[in-house]
Amino acid sequence: MATSTLSEAQHPNLVGLGRTALAAELAAFGAEPFRARQLWHWIYHRGATDFATMTSLSKAFREELAAHYALCRPAVSRALTSVDGTRKWLLRFADGQEVETVHIPEEERGTLCVSSQVGCTLSCTFCHTGTQRLVRNLTAAEIVAQIMIARDTLGEWPSPKSDRQVTNIVLMGMGEPLFNYDNIAEALKIVMDPEGLAISRRKITLSTAGVVPAIRRCGAEIGVNLAVSLHAVRDDIRDRLVPLNRKYPIAELLDACRSYPGASNARRITFEYVMLKGVNDSAAEARELVRLLAGIPAKVNPRVLPLLGFAVVAYAALVGGLYLFQRQLLYFPDRARPELFGLEQLGVREATLMTEDGLSLLSWYLPARPGRAVIAYFHGNGGHIGYRAERLLRFAREGYGVLMAEYRGYGSNPGTPSEAGFYADGRAALAFLDREGVAPSRVVLYGESLGSGVAVALAVQHEIGALILDAPPTSVAEVAQCHFPYVPASRMVTDRFDSLSRIGNVRAPILVLHGEHDRVVPVRYGRALFEAAPEPKEGWFAPEAGHEDLARYGSLDVVVAFIERRLGG
């Protein structure tokens, strides 16, 4: 049966209602509470456009629904397909207003660009939508409907778990999303619902010109990825290019980015920068951009409008900036003191690691139950040990001892992060365990991401019981080259953490854990380490996992089983 459009609807439309609103609507209709769950499944998981297809509902109830409600989509005024497979839909709503939605297929993903407003208020000088007046905000239903139209066309019902053509959502279409925050938030709750459209928040990016108060709210309430239309490094220029800068200047905008919840090396904030010849494209501005973004987990997406003379100068400035500020791009410490928040009731206590160069590093230590191993945990390059409390709790339930070793410059610790410094901190951790009377054969080194480089280096130099590597790079140099393919990144890196050249000298059982969908440290690096590692070794590669969510897919259960097999507890 043909899909009805909003302009044809004579009854209230159920498409676009969130869980609470749908339940309230059906309750007012006199339906039992479980009917809302059934309707939710059919509307958002199966994409139903006709009540008659809802075969898990009685025929009488389906007829009642059809007599009082509609399941509508916007009308497609025009649909275009490019030679590269890009699709564009011009959608018309019930009041005749239109917006565009675009699907961009790539080898490993399919990105859907969604609009949030009809028109825009920002008047950015280089943006076509900015030349149009704002007509109105889109409703949550109209935002969700754009995704459903794409799925209709691409045949993606029911919501697939894998092999999707729509893998990512970017709110980069018409309008400023944060000026329509309430409707955006309501729509994204439907999109992110695992029983609905089921697109993870990690696959959704919201782009803003810099509505600072709403940035903080967005991070706290919906936690999607953030993109910022920056386009200038000086307020006087950005005032002209992005007039919103007069209300929220660059310094205030970047402060909001630094505190954006969830931003990390795995979830970098994207900064859009349109280079305009003679306006914002000097070498000095390229260097200033690197300086401004230091300390923010960031990636820059430059868009070049006609300019050739700038290319060589900008490239040189970019290379120089990356070299000078590489440690700010590698280490992302949270410098606040990590709080135990009740962990002391489990026996966790603060411990001090004394380094050979005279630093006192605050860490956490939980002694093992008799006969159990002790895990020395070296975390990745972001946050501090408090971010890993859930892992400590999991190991504590098994009776393992845990030393959450903290680095210099992280938490409230003194010092500056560096490769040599991290190795010294690792040696201080093993010296602490030795003083605690823990036998080397009962020590399990656990390296998470960058921390795997510390763990491998220690495993080569010291007797240990086992080595566990969680999302490990072969070396920082190789991963840097992957992320910065157009510069000689691998030759510029000074803190290399080269595990590949060392791992063959490890004389303890090794477990390598990695997510197949890891885009920070691609899985090929974990596989390369596994292949180079000597026996005995085990590998666990999770098909659906990314960089930071291995535990969600059962990695800690794998770790526990490995320790039991190799150390007998």
Q: Is the peptide bond before 158 cis (omega within 30 degrees of 0)?
A: yes
- Residues contacting 399, CB < 8 A, separation 6+: 368, 369, 372, 569
DSSP string spanning 402-464?
Answer: EEEEPPTTSTT--S---HHHHHHHHHHHHHHHHHTT--GGGEEEEEETTHHHHHHHHHHHS--
- Confidence (pLDDT) at 291: 87
- Confidence (pLDDT) at 10: 72
SS3 of 395, please?
helix
Which residue is listed with tokens 């509902």? 57
Q: Output the six-digit token pair for 499.
A: 């595990």
- Confidence (pLDDT) at 414: 97
Interatomic CA distance for residues 23 and 192, integer angstroms? 18
Are the C-beta atoms of residues 447 and 460 closer than 8 Å to each other?
no
Interatomic CA distance for residues 277 and 309, integer angstroms? 9
- Confidence (pLDDT) at 490: 76
Comparing CA positions, the residue from 501, 504, 421, 516 lying closest to residue 467 is 504
Sketch out the chain's domains with CATH numbers: 6-68 (1.10.150.530), 75-332 (3.20.20.70), 343-567 (3.40.50.1820)
Are the C-beta atoms of residues 427 and 356 closer than 8 Å to each other?
yes
Interatomic CA distance for residues 417 and 181, integer angstroms? 38
Interatomic CA distance for residues 264 and 269, integer angstroms? 8
SS3 of 363, please?
strand
* pLDDT tens sequence for the chain (569 residues): 445 555 455 789 999 899 999 999 999 999 999 999 999 999 999 999 999 999 999 999 999 999 999 998 999 999 988 888 899 999 999 999 999 999 999 878 899 999 999 988 766 655 655 556 788 999 999 999 999 999 999 999 888 777 788 999 999 888 899 999 999 999 999 999 998 899 999 999 999 999 999 998 998 899 899 999 998 999 999 998 888 999 999 999 999 998 898 777 668 899 988 877 788 888 888 888 888 888 888 887 765 544 434 444 455 555 555 556 677 778 989 889 999 988 999 999 999 999 999 999 999 999 999 999 999 999 999 889 999 999 999 999 999 999 999 999 999 999 999 999 999 999 999 999 999 999 999 999 999 999 999 999 999 999 999 999 999 999 999 998 887 776 677 778 889 999 999 999 999 999 999 999 998 999 999 999 999 999 999 999 999 899 988 998 999 999 999 999 999 87
- Confidence (pLDDT) at 8: 52
- Confidence (pLDDT) at 318: 55
- Confidence (pLDDT) at 290: 84
Instruction: Report yes or no on whether pTM surpasses 0.85.
Output: no
Helix, strand, coil percentages for the chain (3-state, nearest 5): 40, 20, 40
Interatomic CA distance for residues 425 and 378, integer angstroms? 10
Interatomic CA distance for residues 452 and 550, integer angstroms? 15
- End-to-end Cα, the chain, rounded Å: 61
- Confidence (pLDDT) at 463: 96
- Confidence (pLDDT) at 162: 73
Measured in whole angstroms, how far is the alpha carbon of residue 117 from the centre of its chain?
A: 25
DSSP string spanning 202-247?
Answer: GGEEEEES--HHHHHHHHHHT--EEEEE---SSHHHHHHHSGGGGT
- Confidence (pLDDT) at 306: 42
Q: Are strands 87-92 and 98-105 parallel, antiparallel or unpaired?
A: antiparallel
DSSP string spanning 136-149?
Answer: EEPPHHHHHHHHHH
Measure Cα distances from 341 to 259, 349, 350, 390 in Å: 21, 11, 12, 12
Which residue is listed with tokens 């009740």? 342
* Neighbouring C-beta atoms of residue 63, cutoff 10 Å: 13
